Structure 1
């Protein structure tokens, strides 16, 4: 089956974490036996028009582990004009789509990630050329209610033209039912892929010293690291021997470091900085548990990655983690609640031996591995291609 992937954002180089799960899914589908192509547009604002350095500039074409990947940059030059940046994006995307078809032939199906704007372009282009379209929505902006009316209209129209709509969590599907009327009742749940590099080694063991908790996230207020630090200070104050490793970077990093000093836990808190995707699996093998302290997540891929690596997970009930952390995998706690985080970390530290790394990893693999998710997507693709009469005659 020939599947063309059109993501709304995508990694630009090997160490880029932005949209890495889109690439993981494309690779998983290729390994499953499909013919896969990717069209990835990098959206740039006027503020980045003349950067001092342009490291890792993406090429226009590359074979990314055998997957043809077409790239270009789109300057979002019309931010204050409704539909302005969408039209710029659509023009660039349709040029790449034409180039792709000329060099690779017509795809059987196009799978877009996020309605704004890849899904909108895919929906229009697919209907123009009799190609069925699948849209997967990942975007937390719908739950946070940050979009303008014109953006919601673009997203809603995209779902009208799609033959299938996927949400990466049941919670996000419920939000989209409310925000996008044309899609109400149509959202199916298929999770994000966790790449094979996260598979737990057979010899995974917990550390013999203080229990090591890891938080891996962009350092912004919505990721809840303030709550986590307050909770961790309560944990340490109660006499539990533990360490907190904070991996990532962002606008509140300095404030978090200052808070750790104020709470007198700086000697037990490690700030690791940004961690490249290929370094995350080895990092997971150095810690005992993952903590996701977010205020909202559409999915929460780091929780699934930690489970695949055999780690128990503490996560807030913030949308996505509820469909990830199963019984025996860890604990779910309310968001914005430092005391609940402290109690959960204390429970994990005192009962770590009750969590089997092998059992946790196997449960996660059966749900989130590349093969498991590719099988679900293949079933959906096959259903569409056998039931949709539009696929038989693409335009020439």
Structure 2
């Protein structure tokens, strides 16, 4: 299967829009990567919501050459009764028609095989409700069906419930199944009992690898500049920003005791009320003057802020894929991460440290483990280790667009092979 021959429609369970530009922005990035890789790409993004939040309206936009149909799917609270699948398929039927109408209204792209050519493969993202929408679309078009799971919570629902059974009914027809980290793949294999899942690392836009960094030689020797530890997130409790602040404060005090410039802290993201509480904690820990809180910033400015740092910390309690860990490495930052699925998959010995399992025991254990890991990493940087260009080169091989598009093409070949090798049952 050549990329230029493929027409793929993504069915993510959430997707950015004008009012929520950061909501699933990585799905939009991935769609554009596939497009740059030579594929024809469309998106049908139907978000599951409660019945009273659902709206009948569907919209269709053309965004940088990608047709995006948006809408909502009304769902049963907690899957207490059957009906989610039927509702998703009903909305999917209207969304597919709107997608086809929009495609027909576009000028025929040269060499595309015709603007009205049906998709070859449907790629669902997250089972609820992406797999229901994707299964309907794949049936309608006679296309292959692939799925990538992103949410750790997808394994929380009871295997005896209505929702699990409905999802598994459609999931078993996905010829290609992928997930964003190897430990997560093992969990899904055991949970769904449908065989193996392949791991496809969350990718990074190629232009991130070209973002300039400060000179690295000034990180070494007796007159080395102060190092900066960075964290980027919405600063919710799952990311443990409080423990990160406490650990950096301990590190800064140790730096001062050793006669060095204290390590600095950069926190990117968060709302005003979250930032104020964290700023107060930094003040109490004595690092207010060496800490920077940016608040929410435009997506395209984040890379520049991160690139001016030396170490990235992701102390999440739960993390499935960890796109931000890939972005940090693409910018040349050494990483320190908790032993989540993402941490264990994304961070290798040559690119950083993963904390031991005991670090997740309680808050104090996490602070102690973070402090120790940050001390090791910053000492290694001052000694010439964790070379940014070496980290970036490894990141490009693992997380670059070419690697991602190749992995998706193999997934789509598997999905299309499954549909052609069977009767494509719609039962």
TM-score surpassing 0.5?
Answer: yes
CA separation of 1:287/1:59 partners in 2, compared to 1, >3 Å: closer, same or farther? farther
Q: Name 1:244's counterpart in structure 2.
A: 265
Q: Name 1:223's counterpart in structure 2.
A: 239
CA separation of 1:178/1:387 partners in 2, compared to 1, >3 Å: closer, same or farther? closer
For 1:166-185, what aligned pairs fall within 5 Å after superposition? Answer: 166-181=178-193, 183=194, 185=195
Structure 2: state its 5+ residue gaps: 1-5, 105-115, 257-261, 361-365
Name which of 275, 279, 287 aligns with 2:297. 275
Q: Name 2:331's counterpart in structure 1.
A: 309
For 1:261-272, what aligned pairs fall within 5 Å after superposition? Answer: 261-272=283-294
Contact 2:58 2:95 in 1 (8 A): no
Q: Name 1:21's counterpart in structure 2.
A: 26
Post-superposition CA distance 1:69-127 (Å, at most 9, x none)? 2223x264753663455544432222111222343442111001000001122124424
Task: Measure how far apart 1:163 and its partner are.
Answer: 0.9
Contact 1:142 1:179 in 2 (8 A): no
SS of residue matched to 1:161? coil
CA distance in structure 2 between the partners assigned to 1:85 and 1:392 by the alignment: 26
Post-superposition CA distance 1:276-308 (Å, at most 9, x none)? 221111112221121111112111110100101
Task: Measure how far apart 1:386 and its partner are.
Answer: 4.5
Q: Name 2:176's counterpart in structure 1.
A: 164
Q: Name 2:225's counterpart in structure 1.
A: 209
Matched, 1:96 2:95: yes
Q: Name 1:186's counterpart in structure 2.
A: 196
Name which of 74, 77, 80 aligns with 1:79. 77
Q: Name 1:379's counterpart in structure 2.
A: 410
CA distance in structure 1 between the partners assigned to 2:52 and 2:305 by the alignment: 34
Post-superposition CA distance 1:319-377 (Å, at most 9, x none)? 11222112321111134311111122222222223222111111111111111110111
Name which of 307, 319, 322 aligns with 1:285. 307
Q: CA RMSD in A?
A: 3.0
CA distance in structure 1 between the partners assigned to 2:190 and 2:274 by the alignment: 32
More displaced 10-residue stretch of structure 1: 168-177 or 326-335? 326-335
CA separation of 1:233/1:83 partners in 2, compared to 1, >3 Å: closer, same or farther? farther
CA distance in structure 2 between the partners assigned to 1:75 and 1:120 by the alignment: 10
SS of residue matched to 2:98? helix
Task: Measure how far apart 1:228 and its partner are.
Answer: 1.3
For 1:109-188, what aligned pairs fall within 5 Å after superposition? Answer: 109-127=121-139, 129-142=141-154, 145=156, 149-181=161-193, 183=194, 185-188=195-198
CA distance in structure 1 between the partners assigned to 2:32 and 2:175 by the alignment: 23
Task: Measure how far apart 1:262 and its partner are.
Answer: 3.0
Q: Name 2:59's counterpart in structure 1.
A: 60
CA distance in structure 2 between the partners assigned to 1:269 and 1:151 by the alignment: 46
CA separation of 1:360/1:278 partners in 2, compared to 1, >3 Å: closer, same or farther? same
More displaced 10-residue stretch of structure 1: 220-229 or 38-47? 38-47
CA distance in structure 1 between the partners assigned to 2:148 and 2:371 by the alignment: 35
Matched, 1:389 2:411: no
SS of residue matched to 1:238? helix
More displaced 10-residue stretch of structure 1: 281-290 or 90-99? 90-99
CA distance in structure 1 between the partners assigned to 2:297 and 2:50 by the alignment: 25
Structure showing greater radius of gyration is: 2
Post-superposition CA distance 1:168-206 (Å, at most 9, x none)? 10111122123223x2x3211111121123114466534
SS of residue matched to 1:199? helix
Task: Measure how far apart 1:137 and its partner are.
Answer: 0.2
Task: Measure how far apart 1:26 and its partner are.
Answer: 1.0
Matched, 1:370 2:401: yes
| TM norm structure 1 | 0.87
SS of residue matched to 1:339? helix
SS of residue matched to 2:293? strand
Task: Measure how far apart 1:62 and its partner are.
Answer: 2.4
